[in-house]
Amino acid sequence: MDKKLVIKTSSLKDFLLLFKQEEILDNLSLGDTWHPSSGFVDEEILEGRRKIGEIIEFDYDFGGLVDFTANIENIELRLVSQPNKNHKLLKFEVKCSAKYQKILTEKTIEKNAYAPGSYEITMLNDYGA
């Protein structure tokens, strides 16, 4: 049975650091409204880059992210809220197996050990498969 969790962090790249750099993002859709030269950009700005490591190394930080969905094999990723004046963090939803939920939980604990408060994670009720 799939599980849902919500991960809050400051950027798309910080969120992607929770996953293996060689993983491929399938069905990628993104939108960003702060690009300095063209305003709105979508996934085409990545010029075919789909590996997580390539996106992390990409020379743009997606500071105006308004849309993000992707799959990593059987894992579904989705941006569910953008920062605003009351909430400074992006909120991402992850639908995955219980085993992968445990991996992500451990990864956020590890990352927070080095940079406290970088990630917040919330488990949601079981999500019917």
pLDDT, tens digit (0-9, with 9 covering 90-100), for 86-125: 668 999 999 999 999 999 999 999 999 999 999 999 998 7
pLDDT at 2: 86
pLDDT band at 127 (very low <50, low <70, confident <90, very high): low
pTM for the predicted model, two decimal places: 0.91
Q: Which two tokens stand for residue 13?
A: 């790249």
Q: What is the CATH number of domain 2-123?
A: 3.30.310
pLDDT at 88: 81
Residues sharing a CB contact under 8 Å with residue 49, sequence separation 6 or more, in sequence order: 55, 58
pLDDT band at 126 (very low <50, low <70, confident <90, very high): low
For 32-91, write each residue's pLDDT tens digit.
Answer: 998 888 889 999 999 999 999 999 999 999 989 999 999 999 999 999 987 666 668 999
pLDDT at 68: 97
CA 109 – CA 55 distance, rounded (Å): 23
62, 11 in Cβ contact below 8 A? yes
Domain boundaries, the chain: 2-123
Give the three-class secondary structure for 111. Answer: helix
pLDDT at 1: 66
Kindly give the residue spans of alpha helices, DSSP state H, lying in the chain: 12-16, 52-57, 98-114
pLDDT at 29: 97
CA 83 – CA 101 distance, rounded (Å): 24
